[in-house]
Chain A
């Protein structure tokens, strides 16, 4: 049994209760006991001053790729959970496109246990929609949920068959879980390696048009309406998608959406010089799309930020652009990028950012975190907003280094991450 912990004198921001004030936070027995002033000191309490810092519910990342089982050389549940803790995350959701695919209760249970064993950020598995992610047969949602899955997704691929997507939405409704879709129309996108536009024309690379995403977004929204199920749209990247989501929400449909830090920060110009660290799916788009995604986050049309952390071996990305795999890591830079670009950039207030990175994702996937209400798990992050640091991938806790932000100066990062009251990350993070 660990000692009670009092985080004293910080700026406490709890979006779940509209709280933003200087206060103390008392943690006991893995739970939040109280938040306020003059809380009293229980016996044996450890007092930590966090004056000048921000105390918030631990960040939650609902879209992460941990490569275990199958590709443990580029990331494991343990290393991913450690990297998450360094990024200020107390909970992450692991996508099922592992090898073999996480499409049954044994596989889900395995990921849960690996997460518990590692003892860093909580790891909540997402189960596959279809067996083997082959898009043919539904996986056993009930069994997977019973083993700990919090959602289903075939991410990496779209659910191509509208019939299967419809069935998935209806069936998922039984268990109260969302279906998270990777929106990509495969015949339009096939062979594409970056956004289809002027830059791709100049570089001589095949493009993925924005319409490839928007077509599936529109389809998923219609199916959500048809079935009453909850569809969660992964990594949105276009202004057209934003428009569709806005109108769906105006009509009160159960549609939620996420955006990654790289999609609201970088454009397709990052691909010039054929830098494979700018290659991901969906691709980086144009300035107009970046602007639309930022406004959407601000308005709440896009509910939350998720990293789509996708580790790859260093030499896999050392290839001609066409041949390199899609994806970049993001757990250890997500908050820094979001804070620098959105809060310092004047797009979002800090409480709104915390809401998008903690409270909202927790609520969407029905996770216990995202709040500092008494009785909630003691998943807390202490943030230093003035900490200026340079992204250095060679010092990541993640096994992989594929980040487009190497060398970038950021402001703000987690200096203490607690899960169930236990510190899982402390001090200046490695990316100094």
Chain B
């Protein structure tokens, strides 16, 4: 007996995603009060591509190239013990010294908050930024830690059995955010 396909709902199509990123770029600038000390760091994976796009939007708007980096948090996960075969570790590159900077962490989905917490732990090993903000494309609720995003593209209500899938042109060939509902058995 085959299981029926899970139900998929589009949260953001390509245009909606572009508009969200546009708004998020503006909010980043507002919160940063200028670009002098701004650094955008995307969390592997997809957070890196989103950080890139936001940086390009800011560059178009302000004519200023925002330094950006990538952060892989695998080695800082709090569930390495239980994750089974070790996940592949992506690239981490941090542009220069973080001291005195305003770091904006960019990620695709905020859920339990553990990824953000791991990112904070890891950044602490690179220096002492003056300020760290969290900027996410989708906030799906379900926090397990007291963490909140400063900038949110879209708020979504998702249950424990649901998945929020983010696809980006650079990696997946198209821009799309979908809510995938599991069948209740």
Classify A-B as touching or not with yes or no (CB < 8 A).
Answer: no
